[in-house]
Chains A and B, each alone.
With several copies, the nearest count.
Chain A
Amino acid sequence: MTAAEAAGGSPHRTLITGVIGSDTHIVGTRILSMGLEKAGYKVVALGALTPAEEFVKAAIETDADAIMISSLYGQGELDCRGFRDLCVEAGIGGVLIYVGGNLVVGKQSWAEVEQRYLDMGFDRAFPPDTRLDGVLVALAADFSTRGQVEKEVG
């Protein structure tokens, strides 16, 4: 059993997926959504060209555990600014937020790009060559830590 197989999803965990901004690249988010569903998660797929506000709205409506934002077209750096604040304002400041794709314009050092997005308040950022396996492992790890924290707190 690979690490990813071990990291099976749970139907009690709801994930919002979609592509932010004026971005039409739907293939990655669609394949990701299929994969996450197959792995056992409940997936709410918003598709391409999704305004930031719609992610937040959908997350509230479905009491989502994580928001999985795709941005491919390079303008994500503008679209994603303030996304965490939006969540905080909407009262879901603690939701897990991932972002992945071609997150900036041009080929830039990944370490810098990642840091930029972490600074924006994303929990994790994923480079263009990300595949499902890596995402499943990350989700499992983050949910288990959070579960722990919730338990410890609760």
Chain B
Amino acid sequence: MSAKASPDAVPFSEARIPDDDFARMREENLARWPTGAGVDFEAAVDRHLALPEHKRLGFVMRRADAEGRCLTQPRGGFATFEMQKELMQALDRDGLADVVPTTTDSYTRNERWPQAEAGVEESKKLGRSMLNGFPIVNYGVDICAELVAAIDKPAIVLSGTAMPRLTSEIVLAGGYSGYLGSGIAYTTSYTKEVSIEDGIRNYQYLDRLAAMYAERGVDLHRRQPGFLTGTNIPPCIAIVVAVLDVLLAAGQGVRNYGLELGQALHLIQDSAAIHACRELCQEYLEKKGYDDVFTPVISLHWMGAWPYDDAQAAALLAYGGTLGAVGGAVSVTTKSTHEAFGLPTPEKNVEGLKITRMAIYLARHTRLDDNPEFLEEKELIGREVRPIVDKVLEMGDGDAALGTVRAIEAGVLDIPWSPNRQCQSRILPARDTDGYLRILEAGDMPFPKDVLEIHEAKLRRRAERDGVPYDQDLAVTSVFEMSEKLADLMPFAWGEGH
């Protein structure tokens, strides 16, 4: 085991990894931990092809999109097999989840498998999960297959990491038909020391692997986590990264690729973002000559700080369903009223699913596709995204991989609140008077001047309204906003109240 996979001989670029190189990379990779030996690609293909259609996420996402449905999918992982199975069954049966997740723990994500092992032992001893997810590499392929068999929906792995090589081999071999993660998004938001180049390489591996399944008729669903650091990410930033990540995935042969967007919590902005994301990704895919990549958008419950009050959290859950349904997302990834405190119990997770599902049901007919404010905002997003993506590609002489690494180093591509050392993280978002997420400081990102003026004007209006200076504190208060007490957010407006 090593925290970093050995450097690959393949030169770094967006090009498809050659088959023989890939074979060698796989061999090295699978040797890093005993359970790697359990991976048998041929058997895995058969396993997938034997699954009924409704348990294949690739199929389910395509059909949901074609039928205009909005699905629900929770997150969820606990330390032991028993806990994990019980959780997944509760989400499937009681929560009516359309897609059932397995979230890995953070040791697994950082390839600290011995520590994960210790966490399992400790959890068994104490009778409660000491890990924040399921250490799926330690458990191996057969256990994956058992979990997939325990539910009657497609299963997806959620593993926020820049190092998905071994995890993905094992879970795909075990019958999981969905895998969340991407090189740019996760490396900038989940790691400190991993270089963007390594992160991208690692996901090129995963994407090539997924494409290998596809070549054998297994239409796996790959997915990009556009929520990034989850902290007031304006749609344009998420979408720039989505465009680059999907180009990288397409380069390896992926054709079924979901795009996640964290909710901005504004009905118009989120609808605009969902539409713009898909359109802009398709626009750049086309430019690169890909006309057959399926890119459904998935809307994520508020990814920033949650309120500590159950009732407030319930409203956020329901609104998240509304935003996803009205925005035309193909699926909503859900949270629970426990979000501000810790991982939800299966019951609370189920509750979150049901609140969201009912909210989706209620709003499933409503679309804002010809609403003037929506059209305006969507257009603005285009004006924000294209200059950045164009510049990134230009910096890479047309290569998305090279361009991204150079652009992040130069701050041309920047992520708010990123822990990664390579990322300047000088861009700073804040919420404006109308509830839109805007850019307070752009760092070195080359947004057009007129676009930045719009952002500044709107945020200056907020500073005025709040009677505070126009400074970084606008960003900090925006981080806390949704976690504030209702009595502070919306007090009785007259008299002292209480």
Direct chain A–B contact by Cβ atoms under 8 Å: yes
| Interfacial residues, chain A to chain B (CB-CB below 8 A) | 21-24, 26-27, 30-31, 34, 47-49, 73-75, 77-78, 102, 104-108, 128-129
Report 22 cross-chain contacts, Cβ distance below 8 Å, ordered by A residue: A22-B110, A22-B112, A23-B106, A24-B106, A24-B189, A24-B191, A24-B192, A47-B419, A49-B191, A49-B192, A74-B132, A74-B342, A74-B343, A78-B115, A105-B128, A105-B129, A105-B130, A105-B131, A105-B343, A106-B129, A106-B341, A129-B340
Distance to closest chain B CB from A107 (angstroms): 4
Distance to closest chain A CB from B334 (angstroms): 17
Distance to closest chain A CB from B434 (angstroms): 24
In the complex, A106 Cα to B132 Cα: how many Å?
A: 9
Q: Are B192 and A102 interface neighbours, CB within 8 A?
A: no
Which residues of A have CB within 8 Å of B193?
49
Q: Are A31 and B476 interface neighbours, CB within 8 A?
A: yes
Which residues of B have CB within 8 Å of A104?
342
Listed residue (A22, A107, A108) with the most chain B CB atoms within 10 angstroms of its CB: A22
- Knowing A22-B109, A49-B192, A107-B342, the reply to whether A30 touches B417 (Cβ < 8 A) is yes
Partner of B479, one of A31, A73, A128: A31
Q: Are A73 and B132 interface neighbours, CB within 8 A?
A: yes
Interface assignment of B195: CB less than 8 Å from any CB of chain A: no
Which residues of B have CB within 8 Å of A129?
308, 340, 483
Partner of B341, one of A30, A47, A102: A102
Partner of B338, one of A23, A48, A77, A107: A107
Interface assignment of B10: CB less than 8 Å from any CB of chain A: no
Partner of A48, one of B105, B192, B344: B192
Q: Are B192 and A47 interface neighbours, CB within 8 A?
A: yes
Q: Are A75 and B107 interface neighbours, CB within 8 A?
A: yes
Interface assignment of B229: CB less than 8 Å from any CB of chain A: yes
Distance to closest chain B CB from A21 (angstroms): 7
Which residues of B have CB within 8 Å of A31?
476, 479
Q: Are A106 and B417 interface neighbours, CB within 8 A?
A: no
Partner of B119, one of A30, A48, A75, A107: A75
Interface assignment of B122: CB less than 8 Å from any CB of chain A: yes
User: How many residues of chain B are within 8 Å of chain A by beta carbon?
Assistant: 39
Which residues of A have CB within 8 Å of B343?
74, 105-106
Distance to closest chain B CB from A112 (angstroms): 12
Which residues B85-114 have CB closer than 8 A to chain A?
105-107, 109-110, 112
Which residues of B have CB within 8 Å of A106?
128-129, 338, 341-345
Distance to closest chain A CB from B425 (angstroms): 9
Which residues of B have CB within 8 Å of A47?
192, 419
Which residues B148-196 have CB closer than 8 A to chain A?
160, 189-193
Q: Are A27 and B106 interface neighbours, CB within 8 A?
A: no
Q: Are A77 and B192 interface neighbours, CB within 8 A?
A: no
- Knowing A73-B132, A106-B343, A128-B308, the reply to whether A26 touches B338 (Cβ < 8 A) is no
Distance to closest chain A CB from B483 (angstroms): 7
Q: Are B131 and A102 interface neighbours, CB within 8 A?
A: no
Nearest CB in chain A to that of B341: its residue: A107
In the complex, A78 Cα to B231 Cα: how many Å?
A: 26
Q: Are A26 and B417 interface neighbours, CB within 8 A?
A: yes
Q: Are B130 and A78 interface neighbours, CB within 8 A?
A: yes
Which residues of A have CB within 8 Å of B106?
21-24, 73-75
Distance to closest chain A CB from B377 (angstroms): 26
Q: Are B132 and A128 interface neighbours, CB within 8 A?
A: no
In the complex, A24 Cα to B479 Cα: how many Å?
A: 17
In the complex, A129 Cα to B417 Cα: how many Å?
A: 19
Distance to closest chain A CB from B195 (angstroms): 14
- Knowing A27-B479, A78-B119, A106-B342, the reply to whether A48 touches B107 (Cβ < 8 A) is no
In the complex, A34 Cα to B477 Cα: how many Å?
A: 13
Q: Which 3 A-B pairs have the closest CB atoms?
A: A48-B419, A107-B341, A74-B132
Nearest CB in chain A to that of B193: its residue: A49
In the complex, A43 Cα to B132 Cα: how many Å?
A: 30
In the complex, A128 Cα to B110 Cα: how many Å?
A: 24
Which residues of B have CB within 8 Å of A77?
130
Nearest CB in chain A to that of B105: its residue: A75
- Knowing A23-B106, A48-B419, A78-B119, the reply to whether A105 touches B192 (Cβ < 8 A) is no
- Knowing A27-B479, A34-B476, A75-B130, the reply to whether A49 touches B342 (Cβ < 8 A) is no
Interface assignment of B118: CB less than 8 Å from any CB of chain A: yes
Listed residue (B105, B109, B132) with the most chain A CB atoms within 10 angstroms of its CB: B132
Which residues of A have CB within 8 Å of B231?
27
Nearest CB in chain A to that of B340: its residue: A128
Which residues of A have CB within 8 Å of B110?
22, 49
Nearest CB in chain B to that of A113: its residue: B342
Which residues of A have CB within 8 Å of B308?
128-129
- Knowing A21-B106, A22-B109, A77-B130, the reply to whether A128 touches B341 (Cβ < 8 A) is yes
Which residues of B have CB within 8 Å of A48?
192, 419
Listed residue (B191, B341, B479) with the most chain A CB atoms within 10 angstroms of its CB: B341
In the complex, A49 Cα to B231 Cα: how many Å?
A: 18
Q: Are B417 and A27 interface neighbours, CB within 8 A?
A: yes
Nearest CB in chain A to that of B109: its residue: A22
Listed residue (A31, A34, A47, A106) with the most chain B CB atoms within 10 angstroms of its CB: A106
Q: Are A22 and B107 interface neighbours, CB within 8 A?
A: yes
Which residues of B have CB within 8 Å of A30?
417
Task: Render B295-312 as a binary contact track against A, CB cut-off 8 A, 1 for contact.
Answer: 000000000010010000
Which residues of A have CB within 8 Å of B338?
106-107
Which residues B68-82 have CB closer than 8 A to chain A?
none
Nearest CB in chain A to that of B112: its residue: A22
Nearest CB in chain A to that of B123: its residue: A105
Which residues of A have CB within 8 Å of B229?
26-27
Distance to closest chain B CB from A111 (angstroms): 14
Nearest CB in chain A to that of B337: its residue: A107
Q: Are B419 and A24 interface neighbours, CB within 8 A?
A: yes
Nearest CB in chain A to that of B79: its residue: A105
